[in-house]
């Protein structure tokens, strides 16, 4: 296929991506949008395969192996395992861009070097930048995957000299990128290339390790953005416009999503990335909390719920861990049959991934109309009879609005504390994921239901069925 | 000239990316992220070229590794997104 036709096909693919992303942004068209973007990808792949002078043997093997692994993985994963899978795929995309840039470098290397070709310095710099961003995306995503799947502790991990090492790695990255632009060829050039690779991987590890589980939605969407930028940089390296455009679209839309997440926590990006949130002895800061947490039994809760006219369910990460979404939906239905008005209040950063709770509740068939966002439920909270908090913690912590010494002060919350009665489902008495004491639990109107969220909700359901 | 053109394309795409999803309802954040993650697997195009058109054996091997990983990213990403969106869709057809 001629170069002109190829590029026209790439333009068509880019248009399909643009429509796809656009349509992913609204509920009615989202699924079609995903298909359109997939069609764009298929088009780009097919026309690339039609380039003349291809040696197909390894291409078919590579495509076949990747397709089988990707397909099976996507089909067998449980909905609760979604965040870590997205993180892992994202890491694969990042490291793939590294290998593409590396292969391009190797090509120049074996042909006698980059210096002397047209735009030599630019080519060298984009190759090494693609490598760096890709490596950073990869290692960061792998750490995020480990945290989300519980393979490494979800709480912020602060290593000795954490900050110093991160700064050194950042400086090493900049220095070696510049050095590579200067002398990309020969053994020295290759050495610098590896230095960039190692610095990128190191920075990803040291950048994500200290970030706590509650900040994961921000990190995941930032890494998503970076994988796009890595692809875009790789596109510059191999001078391919579809890589540049598609990568850049993902990079920028991912960045917007990241900023939306940050706004939902009333923090800026730098603060999320560099503060090691919740790693300080948080309970030592902030006001002393008075009172005690009062436990209740499910039968006590039943009597209150049975009389309730309006109930708001506030899910959090605990619901995902316990896989309680189906039981929760059943409870919601029973409450509705009982004449109560039921809403599910979703905080933008509840869970470990943007929109995490929505996916889980959708899996359990909770209708759209019952899912309400924070801003629309908060004015109604004082007239709500019962708020049921299921494994959510920081997003309902009133300290965020009234305790200026609290690390989460200023973060918008769902005002569960304004409801007439609060039931909080919680695994045990300890502080939550972030290590913060939640004042909500100590209020006079709050009752704690300890235990596994799924078991507790199921017990409530059976009380209703008696 | 070629180079300037590529930068030009990049800049326009950046603005487009910022504009495209300025207002997305929060319930779609996960599918949007997962779907755009699949698009970032576009690096598969570079991987195919590196695998099929490299004279250097090492470059070909690197391309092959890239190809497998990028294909997982693309195929897995699209299917997972579709699975998520299928759950959303079901309820639209059957309102209460």
Query: Is pLDDT above 60 for A12?
Result: yes
Q: How many CB pairs under 8 A join A and B?
A: 396
Choosing among A12, A57, A89, which should be mutated to test the B contact, i.e. which has the most B CBs within 10 A? A89
Query: Is pLDDT above 80 for A276?
Result: no
Q: Structure tokens of A147?
A: 């945290």
Q: Catalytic: A375? A: no
ipTM of the complex, rounded to two decimals: 0.91
Which residue matches tokens 């953005």?
Answer: A225
Between A135 and A29, residue with greater pLDDT: A135
Q: What is the pLDDT of residue A284?
A: 37
Each residue's pLDDT tens digit, A24-58: 888 788 899 999 999 999 999 999 999 878 888 89
A40 to chain B: nearest residue by CA? B39
Q: Is B8 on the interface with A (CB under 8 A)?
A: no
Domains plus CATH for chain A?
Answer: 77-274 (no CATH), 283-465 (3.40.50.1220)
Do residues A435 and A283 make contact, with C-beta atoms less than 8 angstroms apart? yes
Residue by residue, DSSP assigns chain B as: -HHHHHHHHHHHHHHHHHHHTSS--GGGHHHHHHHHHHHGGGHHHHHHHHHHH-SSHHHHHHHHHHHHHHHHHHHHHHHHHHHHHHHHHHHHHS--
Residue A376's nearest CA partner among A344, A398, A400 is: A344
Task: Over range A332-360, report the average pLDDT.
Answer: 86
Q: What is the pLDDT of residue A155?
A: 65
Q: How confident is the model at residue A281 (pLDDT cuts 50, 70, 90)?
A: very low
How big is chain B, counted in residues? 96
Task: Over range A363-379, report the average pLDDT.
Answer: 85
Do residues A97 and A244 make contact, with C-beta atoms less than 8 angstroms apart? no
Strand order in the sheet with A446-450: A371-373, A341-346, A310-315, A386-390, A421-426, A446-450
pLDDT, chain A, mean: 86
Cβ count near A351 (within 10 Å) = 30
Task: Over range A320-340, report the average pLDDT.
Answer: 89
Between B72 and A320, residue with greater pLDDT: B72
Indicate which residue of A120, A394, A402, A452 is catalytic.
A394
B40 to chain A: nearest residue by CA? A228
Task: Over range A250-269, report the average pLDDT.
Answer: 85
Q: What is the pLDDT of residue A280?
A: 40
Under an 8 A CB cutoff, do B29 and A257 touch?
A: yes
Under an 8 A CB cutoff, do A235 and B46 touch?
A: yes
Shortest distance, CA B93 to any CA of chain A (angstroms): 10
Task: Over range B13-38, report the average pLDDT.
Answer: 85
Q: What is the pLDDT of residue A365?
A: 85
Choosing among B26, B65, B93, which should be mutated to test the A contact, i.e. which has the most A CBs within 10 A? B26
Under an 8 A CB cutoff, do B28 and A26 touch?
A: yes
Q: What is the pLDDT of residue A313?
A: 93
Q: How confident is the model at residue A209 (pLDDT cuts 50, 70, 90)?
A: confident
Q: How confident is the model at residue A288 (pLDDT cuts 50, 70, 90)?
A: low
Under an 8 A CB cutoff, do B20 and A18 touch?
A: yes
Do residues A403 and A286 make contact, with C-beta atoms less than 8 angstroms apart? yes
Q: Is B42 on the interface with A (CB under 8 A)?
A: yes
Query: Is pLDDT above 80 for A283?
Result: no
Under an 8 A CB cutoff, do A89 and B72 touch?
A: yes
Q: Is A42 on the interface with B (CB under 8 A)?
A: no
Each residue's pLDDT tens digit, B31-81: 888 999 999 999 999 999 999 988 888 999 999 999 999 999 999 999 999
Rounded Cα distance, A154 and A286, in Å: 23
Comparing CB atoms, the residue among A55, A224, A367 nearest residue B36 is A224
Q: How confident is the model at residue A111 (pLDDT cuts 50, 70, 90)?
A: confident
Q: Is B55 on the interface with A (CB under 8 A)?
A: yes
Q: What is the pLDDT of residue A279?
A: 42
Q: Structure tokens of A3?
A: 């170069």
Least confident of A117-131, A164-178, B23-37: B23-37
């Amino acid at each position: 296929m001629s170069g002109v036709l190829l590029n026209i096909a790439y333009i068509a693919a880019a248009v399909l991506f643009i429509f796809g992303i656009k349509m992913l942004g609204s509920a009615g068209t989202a699924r079609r949008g995903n298909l359109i973007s997939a069609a764009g990808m298929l088009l780009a792949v097919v026309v690339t395969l039609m380039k003349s002078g291809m040696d197909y043997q390894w291409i078919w093997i590579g495509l076949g192996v990747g397709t089988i692994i990707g397909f099976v993985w996507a089909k067998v994963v449980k909905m609760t395992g979604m965040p870590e899978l997205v993180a892992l795929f994202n890491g694969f995309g990042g490291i793939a861009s590294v290998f593409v840039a590396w292969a391009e470098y190797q090509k120049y290397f074996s042909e006698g070097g980059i210096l002397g070709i047209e735009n030599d310095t630019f080519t060298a710099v984009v190759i090494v930048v693609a490598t760096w961003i890709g490596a950073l995306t990869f290692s960061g995503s792998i750490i995020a995957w480990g945290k989300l799947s519980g393979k490494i502790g979800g709480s912020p991990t602060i290593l000795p000299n954490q900050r110093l090492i991160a700064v050194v790695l950042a400086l090493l990255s900049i220095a070696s990128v510049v050095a590579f632009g200067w002398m990309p060829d020969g053994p020295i050039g290759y050495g610098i290339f590896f230095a960039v690779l190692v610095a990128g991987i190191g920075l990803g590890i040291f950048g994500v390790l200290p970030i706590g589980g509650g900040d994961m939605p921000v990190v995941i969407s930032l890494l998503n953005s970076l994988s796009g930028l890595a692809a875009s940089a790789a596109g510059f390296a191999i001078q391919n416009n579809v890589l540049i455009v598609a990568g850049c679209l993902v990079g920028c839309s991912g960045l917007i999503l990241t900023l939306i997440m940050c706004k939902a926590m009333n923090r800026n990006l730098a603060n999320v990335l560099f503060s090691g949130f919740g790693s300080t002895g948080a309970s030592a800061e902030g006001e002393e909390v008075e009172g005690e947490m009062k436990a209740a039994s499910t039968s006590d809760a039943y009597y209150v719920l049975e009389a309730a006219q309006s109930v708001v369910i506030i899910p959090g990460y605990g619901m995902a861990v316990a896989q309680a979404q189906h039981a929760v939906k059943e409870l919601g239905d029973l409450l509705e049959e009982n004449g109560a008005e039921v809403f599910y209040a979703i905080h933008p950063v509840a869970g470990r991934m943007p929109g995490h709770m929505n996916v889980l509740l959708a899996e359990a068939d909770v209708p759209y109309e019952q899912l309400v966002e924070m801003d629309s439920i908060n004015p109604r909270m004082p007239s709500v009879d019962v708020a049921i908090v299921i494994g959510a913690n920081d997003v309902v912590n009133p300290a965020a609005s009234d305790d200026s010494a609290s690390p989460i002060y200023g973060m918008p919350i769902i005002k569960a504390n304004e409801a007439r009665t609060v039931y909080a489902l919680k695994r045990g008495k300890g502080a939550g994921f972030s290590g913060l004491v939640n004042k909500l639990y100590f209020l006079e109107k709050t009752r704690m239901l300890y235990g596994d969220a799924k078991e507790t909700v199921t017990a409530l359901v059976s009380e209703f069925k008696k | 000239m070629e180079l300037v053109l590529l930068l030009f394309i990049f800049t326009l795409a950046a603005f487009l990316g910022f504009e495209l999803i300025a207002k997305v309802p929060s319930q779609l954040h996960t599918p949007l992220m997962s779907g755009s993650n699949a698009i970032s697997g576009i690096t598969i195009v570079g991987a195919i070229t590196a695998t099929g058109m490299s004279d250097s054996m090492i470059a070909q091997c690197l391309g092959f590794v890239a190809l497998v990983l990028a294909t997982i990213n693309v195929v897995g990403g699209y299917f997972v997104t579709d699975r998520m969106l299928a759950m959303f869709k079901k309820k639209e057809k059957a309102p209460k």
